[in-house]
Chain A
Amino acid sequence: MNVELTGIGVSPGVATAPVARLAAPPELGADTGPEPDPDAALASAKAALEAVAADLEARASRAEGPAGDVLFAQSMMPRDPALADRVAKALAEGRSAPHAVAAAFASFRAALEAAGGYLAERAADLDDLRDRTVATLLGLPMPGVPDPGHPFVLVARDLAPADTAALDPAQAVAVVTEQGGPTSHTAILAKSMGLPAVVACPDAASLEDGVTVLVDGRAGTVAVDPGPERVRRALEGEARRTEALSGSRGPGRTADGRAVQLLVNLGSPADLAAAAEADCEGVGLFRTEFLFLDRATAPAVEEQTEVYAQVFASFTGRRVVVRTLDAGADKPLAFVDHGQEPNPALGVRGIRLARSAAGAALLEDQLAAIGAAAAATDADVWVMAPMVATPGEARAFAARCRDHGLDTAGAMIEVPAAALRASRILDECDFASLGTNDLGQYTLAADRMNGALAELLDPWQPALLDLVGLAAEAGRESGKPVGVCGEAAGDPLLACVLVGLGATSLSMAPSAIAAVRAELATRTYEECAALAATAIGADDAREARRRVAA
Chain B
Amino acid sequence: MSERTVVIGSSVGLHARPAALFVQAAAAQPVPVTIGKPGGEPVDARSILSVLGLDAKGGEEVVLRADGEGAEAALDALETVLATDHDA
Do A82 and B19 touch (CB < 8 A)? no
What is the interface of chain A mostly: helix, strand, loop, or mixed?
helix
Closest chain B residue, CB of each to CB of A115:
B55
CA distance in complex: A122, B53 (Å): 10
Asked whether B63 is an interface residue with its Cβ less than 8 Å from the other chain, the reply is: no
Task: Given A73-B19, A76-B23, check contact A122 B44 (CB 8 Å).
Answer: no
CA distance in complex: A321, B48 (Å): 54
Do B17 and A108 touch (CB < 8 A)? no
CA distance in complex: A119, B50 (Å): 12
Do B17 and A82 touch (CB < 8 A)? no
Asked whether B46 is an interface residue with its Cβ less than 8 Å from the other chain, the reply is: yes
Asked whether B47 is an interface residue with its Cβ less than 8 Å from the other chain, the reply is: yes
Closest chain B residue, CB of each to CB of A68:
B17
* Residue in B16, B46, B53 whose beta carbon sits within 8 Å of that of A111 in the complex: B53
Q: Mark B1-36, 1 if CB is under 8 A from A, else 0.
A: 000000000001001110110011000000000000
B interface residue numbers (CB < 8 A to A) = 12, 15-17, 19-20, 23-24, 43-44, 46-50, 52-53, 55
Do A82 and B15 touch (CB < 8 A)? no
Residues of A within 8 A of B17 (CB): 69, 72-73
Can you list 16 A-B pairs, Cβ within 8 angstroms, ordered by A?
Answer: A69-B16, A72-B17, A72-B20, A73-B17, A73-B20, A73-B48, A80-B48, A80-B50, A81-B44, A81-B47, A82-B43, A82-B44, A115-B55, A118-B12, A119-B55, A126-B49
Do B52 and A112 touch (CB < 8 A)? yes
Min CB distance, B58 to chain A, in Å?
A: 12
A interface residue numbers (CB < 8 A to B) = 66, 69-70, 72-73, 76-77, 80-83, 108, 111-112, 115, 118-119, 122, 126
Closest chain A residue, CB of each to CB of B24:
A76
Q: What 4 A-B pairs are tightest by C-beta distance, nearest first?
A: A82-B47, A111-B53, A115-B55, A73-B20
CA distance in complex: A66, B17 (Å): 9
Do A83 and B47 touch (CB < 8 A)? yes
Residues of A within 8 A of B48 (CB): 73, 76-77, 80
Q: Which of A70, A80, A119 has the most CB of B within 10 A?
A: A80
